[in-house]
Amino acid sequence: MNTEDMSVNPAVQQMAEKAKRDDVETVWDRYEQQQPQCGFGELGICCRNCLQGPCRINPFGEPSHGICGISADGIVARNFLRFSAGGAATHADHAFETVEMLSKTAEGSVPYEIADPAKLKAVAAKLGVPTRGKSVKRLAADVAKVAFEDFAPGKETMRWLTANAPEERVNVWREAGILPKDPDLEIRRVMHQTSMGVDADYTNMVLAAMKMGLVDAYSGLQLGCDVQDIVFGTPKPVKTQANLGVLDEDKVNIIVHGHVPFLSEKIVEWARKLEGEAKKAGAKGIKIAGMCCTGNEVLMRKGIPSAGNFLAQEFAIITGAVDLMVVDVQCVMPSLAQVASCYHTKLVTTHEIGKIPGAEHMPFNAETADEDAQRIVRMGIEAYKKRNLSRVEIPDIRQEMWGGFSVEAIEEIFGCLNSDKSENPLKPLVDAITSGQITGVAAVLGCNNTRFKHDSMITRIAERLLQENILVLTGGCAAHSLGNTGMMCPEGTEKYAGESLRKVLEAAGQAAGLGAAVPPVLHIGSCVDNSRVGALLTNLAAAANLDIKDLPVAASAPELAHEKSVAIGNWCVALGVFTHIGMAPFVGGGREVTRMLTSEMEKLVGGKYYVEPDPDKAADTIIAHIKAKRSALGI
Ligand code: NFS
Ligand code: SF4
């Protein structure tokens, strides 16, 4: 494959050339080896849920049923539901880990502190946990207890759901029968429901998939994000840099990759403390760069530069300048061990469920977080000494990028435009939308996927939306893509935003004392932080006195790949949001399932999926949707 066809990012293209010269196999070589990919799988009409299979359906005739008698729609819905449960499980498990950490932090048995007592109080207040007269640690323990109860049986639904979702939505979900009881029960139930000889009713299973979206959102995203803000701080606007050029030839380069920030925060801390040792080893210091969602976490709170996203991970190592890459869970390519073995790079796995043959496994424990992080940073310094300078080539490409746009930060910034400070802080944003200065709000989120030229869909769609004066929120891998293009800094406002959007962003930047315009694409964080999109839409709807489903807003995961992105998509639909995805999540072989997801759901919950692999067509439709919502509101 031509390197220009792999990515729109010139730094990745340059490294793809180097990979060829260095004779390193990459994701794109394996992609080609997989062609043509199985058509049955792509349509979602193969089943191996029992040992009589695998069964597959002929989309054009016979066989039209599996051996047990299940229909194409039944198989498709069952696969889609299991896929959604996979996503919900990863986020719920991630969040559970953060709650364990919060509880241990409150006990004082781990070397972490509550960085944001104000957020702790705000979370407690929204849960109805009394705060008065309690010490920070006592309150943290009480909040952790409520969180643990959310995983336990015996209630109508999770407290994190009722505390965060608008009441109107909770009623809609109850009515539709998709209100989840607790994450562990619901995920277990889906495994049961989708086993052979249980559910054959596609409607029932599509609804259960929506329920998985709510599990994902409120026992995963919102819970994880709240706890991480409490322990590490709620993000505030921060300026940093993006792209492979952030790696530093003169320093020990350590990349933090994965998802759970407890490890990466400690690595950042110890990299600073061990600078002296790096200097003794002949380096000018230690450079930490972030990858994927862990990268977003440390970018949002610590201003750590972004090295890249999912499809850039191998190419970072191919620079020959990465001394150590440390990973935990999710979206870590097993191929990293192979790529690292072609250079001096040390690959370290740290999580008991995320081991990779060929990598060094160094268990990371909360109790010994400081010792573990020190050891890992020192391993990086050791590896630096073995760096082969003749193999080093760092693309001279980096871009200013801003992050840190939590809902709190967004409200603070736009609230500065209020002349009466007692007004709702989102009123200026609502006014700008009502007057048409801002056409609407769209969240461009999600992964990379080898089905698309790396970052091409994400960047083109965002560019088109900005031209139409639509304010863009981003997170996950999409944030790295848009950061690299320069859409996430004040110059991006000048270059990419439509005129009336630009004026609002300039005024807000000035009023808030940022010293520059607010970027037109706001970085809300990792994929767990997608809860911030839900929270912002909830607050916007409240400020406008409307339901979310009536707002001129949309969501898009143009290059979705992971099961998580589908679980999140299901939540967006259930929230009442028009949700674009770049490909059908293996449901094309079920005509009725497809119809439900892309049309029927709208009648039930107000949102629906829209599938379109062409970025310009997708942008046209998203823009038309937002404009139609405006007309319906008479604005
Ligand atoms: Ni989100 Fe983060 Fe990226 Fe997709 Fe993976 S890193 S949690 S799943 S690939 S955006
Ligand atoms: Fe075939 Fe039914 Fe078994 Fe699936 S569950 S493999 S369709 S017999």
Q: Which atom of ligand 2 is nearest to the CA of 65?
A: 7
- Residue 197 CA: nearest ligand 2 atom is 5
Question: In angstroms, what is the span from residue 53 Cα to ligand 2's centroid?
Answer: 5
* Averaged confidence pLDDT in the chain: 98
The residue whose CA has the least distance to atom 4 of ligand 1 is 447
Residues in CB range of 211: below 8 A, 6 or more apart: 178, 179, 180, 186
Q: Is the CB of 198 under 6 A from ligand 2?
A: no
pTM of the model: 0.98
Residues with CB under 6 A from ligand 1: 259, 292-293, 309-310, 330-331, 446-447, 476-477, 527, 561-562, 564-565
DSSP one-letter string for 358-393: TSEE----STTHHHHHHHHHHHHHHHHHT--GGG--
For residue 436 the two structure tokens come to: 């048409």
Determine how many CB atoms are found less than 10 A away from the CB of residue 200. Answer: 17
Answer for the pair 230, 266: CB distance below 8 angstroms, yes or no: no
Same fold, 244-391 and 406-633: yes
Helical H runs in 217-359? 222-232, 261-273, 275-280, 292-302, 313-318, 336-341
In angstroms, rounded to a whole number, what is the distance separating the alpha carbons of residues 173 and 48? 31
How far, in Å, from the CA of 178 to the mean position of ligand 2? Answer: 26
The alpha carbon of 478 and the centre of ligand 1 are apart by a number of angstroms equal to 9
CA-448 nearest atom, ligand 1: 9
Euclidean distance between CA atoms 489 and 484, whole angstroms: 10
Ligand whose nearest atom lies closest to the CA of 528 = 1
Residue located via tokens 């990028």? 401
CA of 209 to the centre of ligand 2 (A): 20
Residue nearest to atom 6 of ligand 2 (CA): 53
Pocket test for ligand 1, best of 445, 564, 566, 571 (most atoms within 8 A of CB): 564
Output the CA 564–ligand 1 centroid distance in Å. 8
Return the CATH fold of 406-633.
Rossmann fold (3.40.50)
Choosing from 47, 48, 71, 194 the residue with most ligand 2 atoms within 8 A of its CB, the one to mutate for a pocket test is 47
**Would residue 369 be called left, alpha or beta, if left means φ above 0 and alpha means ψ between -120 and 50 degrees?**
alpha
Q: Which two tokens stand for residue 232?
A: 């590490």
Report the alpha-carbon distance of residue 523 to residue 169 in Å, rounded.
26
With the most atoms of ligand 1 within 8 angstroms of its CB, the residue from 83, 255, 260, 293 to mutate is 293
Indicate whether residue 611 lines ligand 2 (CB < 6 A). Answer: no
pLDDT for 446 equals 98
Determine whether the shortest distance from the Cβ of 200 to ligand 2 is under 6 A: no
Q: Where are the alpha helices (DSSP H) in 583-614?
A: 591-595, 601-605
Strands 399-403 and 440-444: unpaired
User: Beta strand 252-257 with 286-291: parallel, antiparallel or unpaired?
Assistant: parallel
Ligand 1 centroid to Cα of residue 50, in Å, is 30
Closest atom, ligand 1, to C-alpha of 445: 10
HEC per residue, 455-469: CHHHHHHHHHHHHCC
The whole-number pLDDT of residue 428 equals 98
**DSSP count for the chain of H helices, then E strands:** 28, 16
Question: β-pairing, 238-242 with 399-403?
Answer: antiparallel
Architecture of domain 244-391: 3-Layer(aba) Sandwich (3.40)
CB 418 within 8 A of CB 428: yes
Listed residue (610, 480, 632) closest to 554, CA to CA: 610
Tokens of residue 55, six digits: 């069964």
For ligand 1, the distance from its centroid to the CA atom of residue 77, given in whole angstroms, is: 24
**Which pair of tokens denotes residue 143?**
């909040």
Q: Which among 308, 298, 303, 321 has a CA at the least distance from the CA of 248? A: 321
Give which of 352, 351, 243, 248 is closest to 299, Cα–Cα: 243
Instruction: Return the best residue to mutate from 46, 55, 194 for the ligand 2 pocket (most ligand atoms within 8 A of CB).
Output: 55
Q: Give first-to-last CA distance, the chain, whole Å.
A: 48
Instruction: Decide whether any atom of ligand 2 lies within 6 Å of the 235 Cβ.
Output: no
Q: How far is the CA of 509 from the centre of ligand 1 (A)?
A: 30
Task: Please give the Cα distance from 405 to 412 (Å, whole number).
Answer: 10
Å from CA of 195 to ligand 2 middle: 9
**pLDDT tens per residue across span 231-277:** 999 999 999 999 999 999 999 999 999 999 999 999 999 999 999 99
How far, in Å, from the CA of 51 to the mean position of ligand 2? Answer: 7
Q: Is 312 in the pocket of ligand 2 (CB under 6 A)?
A: no
Strand, helix or coil for residue 67: coil
Whether 65 is in the pocket of ligand 2, judged by its Cβ within 6 Å, is no
pLDDT, tens digit, 9 for 90 and up, residues 140-188:
999 999 999 999 999 999 999 999 999 999 999 999 999 999 999 999 9
Angstrom CA distances, 24 to 29, 35, 135, 331, 340, stand at 9, 20, 55, 20, 10
What is the atom index within ligand 1 of the atom nearest the CA of 478? 10
Interval between CA 446 and ligand 1 midpoint (Å)? 6
For the chain of 635 residues, list the mean pLDDT of each consecutive stretch of 10.
95 98 98 97 98 96 97 98 98 98 98 98 98 97 98 97 98 98 98 98 98 98 98 98 98 98 96 98 98 98 98 98 98 98 98 98 96 98 97 98 98 96 96 98 98 98 98 98 98 98 98 97 98 98 98 98 98 98 98 98 98 98 98 98
Confirm if 560 and 592 have CB atoms less than 8 A apart.
no
Determine the length of the chain.
635
Q: What are phi and psi of 28, to 5 degrees?
A: -75, -30
Cβ of 395 closer than 6 Å to ligand 2, yes or no, is: no
Ligand 2: distance of its center to the CA of 48 in Å? 6
| Cα–Cα distance measured from residue 208 to residue 74, given in angstroms and rounded to the nearest whole number | 13
The burial of 266, by beta-carbon neighbours within 10 Å (0-12 exposed, 13-18 middle, 19 or more buried), is given as buried
* Domain residue spans of the chain: 18-66, 72-232, 244-391, 406-633
Q: How far is the CA of 402 from the centre of ligand 2 (A)?
A: 50
Closest ligand by atom to 50 CA: 2
What is the number of the ligand closest to the CA of 479? Answer: 1
Q: For residue 48, which ligand has an atom nearest its CA?
A: 2
Ligand 2 pocket, mutate which of 51, 56, 67, 78 (most atoms under 8 A from CB): 67
Candidates 351, 313, 225, 451; CA nearest to 9 is 313
Question: In this structure, which amino acid lies at residue 99?
Answer: V
Which residues, other chains included, contact 141 with Cβ-Cβ below 8 Å and sequence gap of 6+?
A: 103, 106, 107
Number of neighbours of residue 416 by Cβ within 10 angstroms = 18
Q: Note the pLDDT of residue 421.
A: 87
Indicate the CATH number of 72-232 among 1.10.10.10, 2.60.120.10, 1.20.1270.30, 1.10.1450.10.
1.20.1270.30
Q: Which ligand is nearest to the CA of 291?
A: 1
Pocket test for ligand 2, best of 46, 51, 52 (most atoms within 8 A of CB): 52
Q: Whose CA is nearest to atom 7 of ligand 1?
A: 527
* Centre of ligand 2 from the C-alpha of residue 68, in Å: 5
